[in-house]
Chains A and B, each alone.
Chain A
Amino acid sequence: MATAGLHDSELGELQRRLIILRVGLLLVVALLGLRLWHLQIREGPYYRDLSENNRTRSVIMEPARGLIYDRNGVLLANNVPSFTLYVSLEDVKDRDLLIDQLTNLLGLDPALVRKKLMARGSKQVPRKVKDRLTLREATLVESHRLDLPGVMVQVESQRNYPGGVTASHLLGYVGEVSPEQLEKPEFADLHQGSIVGQYGVEKFFDRLVRGQAGQKSIEVDAVGHEKRTVVVEQPYAGDNLYLTIDVRLQKVAESLLGEESGAIVALDPRTGDVLAMASRPGFDPNILSRELTPKQWAEIVQNEGRPLNNRASQGQYPPGSVFKVMMAAAALETNTVTPSTTIHCNGGYQFGRRVYHDWKAGGHGSVDLRRALVQSCDVYFYTVGQRMGIEMMASFAHMFGLGEETGIELPSERIGIVPSSAWKQKAKNEPWLPGETISASIGQGYVNVTPLQMASLIGTVANDGVTFRPRLVRAVMDRATGELQERPAVPKRTLKLRPEILPLIKEALAGVVKEGTGTRAKSALVTIAGKTGTAQTTALGKEKKAEKDIPKKFRDHAWFVAFAPVEAPTIAVAVLGEHMGHGGSASAPLAKELIETYVKLMLPPSAGVADGAVVREVDAGGQGAR
């Protein structure tokens, strides 16, 4: 068996050659050892970092936004759980494939998904692709988990406005922080996909309401699916806001405007509390807080009714005869007239070659200041304005808070226009014309105000000259400590008028409702004082036509400002109806309705209302101790 093919010497030679293998083996193993030493010892820490990065992902835990209540604790904005779709880019190997898959699975717009995934920013932070997934969509994604590396469905709280359209301009809405916003310092601690207030109180108080995001480090497997949580830094919920509005009054204000465009503002003149602030048309913040397609967005922005415009604080209109309230005070203070000075009104005021008409053809006859306010005599105020001059008028208008922000805690408040020669020179680069003083003296021409300014003005009169800054948030509750912090009313300015002036004007304004142009605001429930205003939108001096013959968009704006009760005012109201015609006929009834509602609401719970009259039920249990 041992017959070898080779001689023994050749066997010996083979065995001697083993030295080659031995040396070779040691050489190669030494090389391997060197390589492993290099990987594990020299570059070990580097690779350990890589393996840590491989393994952990940080997930942002969005905070719950603070809740918003009305003054009586009625919930206006809360959060509801909802599913949000995130994509962790680190785990996505083929973006195009993923976009295809998501498009097919959820019917998303591929361009939109692509934009989200390609947006600038750290790869470490998961990208929010879609919020408000339906349960069905969330389940669909979860069941395709293995085919969708890097895709996560997170439960997050989503802003919800139970009242829908109610108080929409006031509350505002939320949305993802925009790339431009992210550049700003106040959004520095946010990231792409963070939700911030984009309008209204949500925007103005965003810092308080926003809360603070938490972070969770999770361990993921090779396809990016969560295995376990490593560290959690809990998010802090935002602070709760208690607004000054009474949502019942707010709803009434909104329904009073109905389908018309306009604004109603109700303040408590004693504190500046905004009791109601309605602007029509409105919008549903629930829809706007969702992600809109460019088309949906264009529809809202291009809507002719401009629903996103808060007419109360951003709409600017000529005040019309409401301006006469300020004019009367100015005329008395400057001694331009005395209460007994009479001016004869024959229906027109001749200035140069031009005649400025009174609203009433034929005129009011001989009128004093009270009658001029009650009848809203234009000629009287033309004369007064002409005597005072535009500069004096402007300085009093500023004292009444016109041409400046009321300071309401809402973004982008407009200030209107108080014209003066300096203003005209600056704005139009033209000299002031004397005739313009005459238009301005009845609140026409260049004069522009917001309904909020008007409410504040009439509130100042009602409150005997003390203006409070309109207050929207009554208290803030710190979510972390549960502490309720009241926000004090802020007096803004006190009118420096002789003490007899404002009572006189108040009495005249009561007369407006009792016997003058505002009788439609007369209430059986409460004494109301007010002033009508009819702001012309087209040039003065046109042929008078029946209102119904004028196209809607050329009709006058209808103003009515009011306060009640006359003796001790607790509410000041400004109503503006766009193109609704005469203030006395269109707006005064709305103001009356609102004031009556407020009065009823303010009655003690045991009180009842029958046949429009208040019937106080005397409660033996001591309830009546007021």
Chain B
Amino acid sequence: MIDRVINSRGFDNFDFRFIGLIFVILGVGVLSIYSVTHDQGVAFPFYAKQIVWIALGAVAFLVMWLSDYHRIARLAYPAYGIILVLLAFVLFEGKSSRGAQRWIPMGPFAFQPSEFAKLVLILTLAHYYSKAPRVGWLQRVVLPGLLVLPGLLLILKQPDLGSGLSFLAVYAAMLLMVGMRSKALGVILLFSLMLFPFAWEMMWGSLHDYQRQRIMAFVDPAYDPGGKGYHALQSRIAIGAGELTGKGLYGGTQSQLKFLPEGHTDFVFSVFAEEWGFLGVLALLILFVTLIWLSLEIVARAKDQLGALLAVGITCMLCFCVVVNIGMTAGMFPIVGIPLPLMSYGGSATIMTMASLGLLLNVKRRRLSFF
């Protein structure tokens, strides 16, 4: 007991491992981005920008880690309100890119509210469930569902299928964890979501090309502009061509010669897989699994309902994004724009993910504050 009290005032071994893992993954991400964009020929290339985002993310991480998550949670509703306004704003005033309107320009950068909406949604739902005993279908499922709905609709309108799916995943995970009359329903919901990729692939495979193109053009016109699964194929080729040991740094011809689209963002995993092979991929998977495992550890040891719900929401979101992103690049899933947490280039996503992880570690810290 005494050890823990002492440790709670500073780093303990757990924190060290947790933060270490985060930075190793971030480092792998920067390396992969560097590999694709090192010859970009501009003053401020992507990998350099990403380092700036990581620095900003580190600040967010520290803020979220060191403040009291109860206090943060109390801001959940107003924050959700602001996010809804921003999401609505983005539809009218936002910046379009590749057929989707997701960004709010801020000087030289662009801010993507849908990324932050995920974290805010977790806060909101955790706050909602922990504030008072929620009993019965109405309070446990329908009301939080109504909370989720406006955000979800606004995101799908952009359209941003990836973020929309993440939204649903967070909702389903929280629902499962607070428990329901029919636990089975929750289990089915979550697993159907996790198995969605495989089900989708089967259904998808049975469609004709033109039908797929129509569907994809409907849900996400940003991807596959040339049609015929060109991007998905190039990504599969990149991963497969890595074989056991990979082609080495800068050796990935798929990404270096730009056959692979979006090598620095959504397809950063393919870049990594081509250059580092199956061994590298296994190592990376172990890193991610360990990070998620440690996060689940924090959930398991959370001191109160709010902390546990926050932690479980964040963990599930992280887990969902990692699985769906890798599944999508490996051709198990249609290409929906979900970036790989901590690795894909992107300011909003990087800062949001790091802030989330800070909050997660906060939960672990706070669990000792009552002793």
Contacts and interface: CB of A to CB of B under 8 A. Distances in A.
A219 to B, nearest CB: 7
Contacts of B194: 24, 28
B308 A15 contact: yes
B257 A227 contact: yes
Nearest to A29: B289
A380 to B, nearest CB: 87
Interface residues of A, number: 48
Contacts, number: 164
A124 interface: no
Interface stretch (B50-58, B213-221, B240-248, B343-351): B240-248
Interface in A48-89: 48, 50-52, 54-55
Nearest to B252: A51
A51 B296 contact: no
B330 interface: yes
A220 interface: yes
Interface string A10-31: 1101110110111011101101
A43 interface: yes
Contacts of A55: 253-254, 257, 259
B304 A2 contact: yes
Interface string B185-227: 0010011001000100000000000000000000000000010
Contacts of A22: 293, 296
Interface size class, chain B? 35 or more
Most chain B CB inside 10 Å of its own CB: which residue of A13, A14, A26, A222: A14
Contact of B243 (A2, A13, A44): A44
Interface stretch (A34-42, A277-285, A516-524, A530-538): A34-42
B108 to A, nearest CB: 24
Contacts of B304: 2, 4, 11
Interface stretch (B10-18, B21-29, B114-122, B127-135): B127-135
A37 B285 CA distance: 12
Given A39-B239, A47-B241, A50-B241, A5 B131 contact: yes
A93 interface: yes
A17 B312 CA distance: 11
B239 A40 contact: yes
B259 A222 contact: yes
A39 B240 contact: yes
Interface stretch (B75-83, B171-179, B334-342): B171-179
Contacts of A31: 198
B304 to A, nearest CB: 5
Most buried by B among A24, A25, A40: A40
A51 B254 contact: yes
A221 interface: yes
A45 B274 CA distance: 12
Chain A: interface secondary structure? helix
A219 B251 CA distance: 13
A457 to B, nearest CB: 68
B308 A11 contact: yes
A32 to B, nearest CB: 5
Given A32-B327, A54-B254, A54-B259, A5 B239 contact: no
B237 A40 contact: no
Contact of A14 (B179, B238, B242, B332): B179
B179 A15 contact: no
A221 B263 CA distance: 14
A6 B130 contact: yes
A242 B332 CA distance: 68
A36 B330 contact: yes
Given A5-B133, A5-B305, A41 B278 contact: yes
A46 interface: yes
Contacts of A54: 234, 237, 253-254, 257, 259
A149 to B, nearest CB: 11
Interface centre among A32, A41, A44, A219 (most CB of B within 10 A): A32
Interface string B286-303: 001100110010011111
A24 B191 contact: yes
A1 B306 CA distance: 11
A6 B70 CA distance: 15
A35 B330 contact: yes
A93 B228 CA distance: 11
A33 interface: yes
B176 A17 contact: yes
B240 A48 contact: yes
Contacts of B293: 22, 25
A149 B273 CA distance: 27
A446 B149 CA distance: 102
B236 interface: yes
Contacts of B187: 20
B319 interface: yes
A40 B273 contact: yes
Interface of A: 1-2, 4-7, 10-11, 13-15, 17-18, 20-22, 24-26, 28-29, 31-33, 35-37, 39-41, 43-48, 50-52, 54-55, 93, 219-223, 227
Given A41-B244, A54-B234, 5 more contacts: A15-B302, A40-B281, A41-B278, A44-B243, A51-B254
The 7 tightest CB contacts between A and B, nearest first, are A47-B240, A44-B243, A51-B241, A222-B258, A40-B278, A4-B305, A221-B257
